Amino acid sequence: MNENAFLDRFELHEAEETRLYEMAKAEQWNATTDIDWTQPIRTSPKIDRDTALAWRRSTLSQFWYGEQAALAICAQLIPMVPDMSAKLYLSSQVIDEARHVEVFGRYLNLIGGPSALNPHLEGLLRTLLDATRPEEKLVGMQVLAEGLALDSFQDLKDATSDPLLHQILDKVTKDESRHMGFGILYLKRRLAKASSARRAEIGGALSGYARMIAEGARWSDPQLPPPPAHWDLKGAGESFGAHALRNLHGRLAQIGLSLAA
Ligand SMILES: [Fe+2]
Ligand SMILES: [Fe+2]
C-alpha cells in the first residue's frame, strides 16, 4: 500500500489536477467565520416542529457520517496515489472534508445531536474504508457516494426553509463539485491504461456498492415519528432515485465504466 508514499522528484505532471488544487486553495472557507451561526433554526410552518427536526436530524446524520468516511478515505488515498499533483490535490480535499464534518456536526448539535446511521450506508462506508486499492475507493466514494451526496445537498438546498442550512449546503456543494471533478479526471486517466480484466473488477465492485445504496434508500429510522400526511416520501424517493441514477450513469460514462460492467 505504501509503495507510492515517497516520490523522488517534485513535478506536477497533471495540469488539470494541479488546476483543481489551485482552485481548492483559492476557494477555502472557514466554518467558524463564514457561516452565520447566530441565525435561528427554522422549520416549515406547515409541519409540527418536533417532527420536522427529527426528520432533519436523520437526514443530516447520514451526511455527517458520510463526511467522516470521506475524510478518512481521502487521507488513506494520499500515500496510495502515484503522482504529486494527485497527492497535493487530495491534501486540499482532506481539509474540505474536515470542514464538512465540522459544519454538519455543529448544525446537528443545534438540533439535538446525531441520530442513527443507516446500516446499509454504514456497510458501504466500511467496505470503502477497507478497500485496498485506490480505484475502488475513488469510484465508490468520490463518484458514487459523493455524487449521490451532491445530488441530495442540491435537492435539500432548494427545498429547505432554514436559511442556516441553506448557507451550509451552498458552501459544501461547491466543494463537493470539485471533489467529483477530481474523481472523474483521475479515474479517467488511470483507467485508460487499465486492462479489461481490471476494468471488469472495478465494475463488479461498483455494482456491489450500488446495490448497498439501493438497499439503503429503502431504509428509514424506526425511531422517527410518522411523516406529515402531505409528504409523498415514496414519490419523492422515486423521482430523486431516477434523477440520481441518470447523473450517475453520466459520470460513469465519462470514466468509461457502467454499472452493468
Ligand atoms: Fe464532503
Ligand atoms: Fe467530498
Phi and psi angles of residue 239, each rounded to the nearest 5 degrees, phi first: -70, -35
Ligand nearest to the CA of 74: 2
The CATH architecture assigned to 49-255 reads Orthogonal Bundle (1.10)
**Which ligand places an atom closest to the C-alpha of 101?**
1
Pick the ligand that lies closest to the CA of residue 172. Answer: 1
**60-69 pLDDT per residue, tens:** 999 999 999 9
**In 10 A of CB 74, how many CB atoms?**
23
Condensed to tens digits (0 to 9), the pLDDT of residues 134-156 reads 999 999 999 999 998 999 999 99
- Retrieve residue 34's grid coordinates: 463564514
2 Cα: distance to centroid of ligand 1 (angstroms): 25
Distance 250 CA to ligand 1 centre (A): 21
Q: Which residue has the cell 464538512?
A: 100
Residue 160's Cβ-count burial label (10 Å; 0-12, 13-18, 19+) is: middle
Whether the predicted pLDDT of 167 surpasses 50: yes
pLDDT > 70? residue 175: yes
pLDDT interval class at 1 (50, 70, 90): low
CA trace torsion 228, 230, 234, 239 (10° rounding): -130
**Domain chopping of the chain, boundaries:** 49-255
Q: Considering only CA atoms, which of 62, 254, 238, 239 is closest in space to residue 139?
A: 254
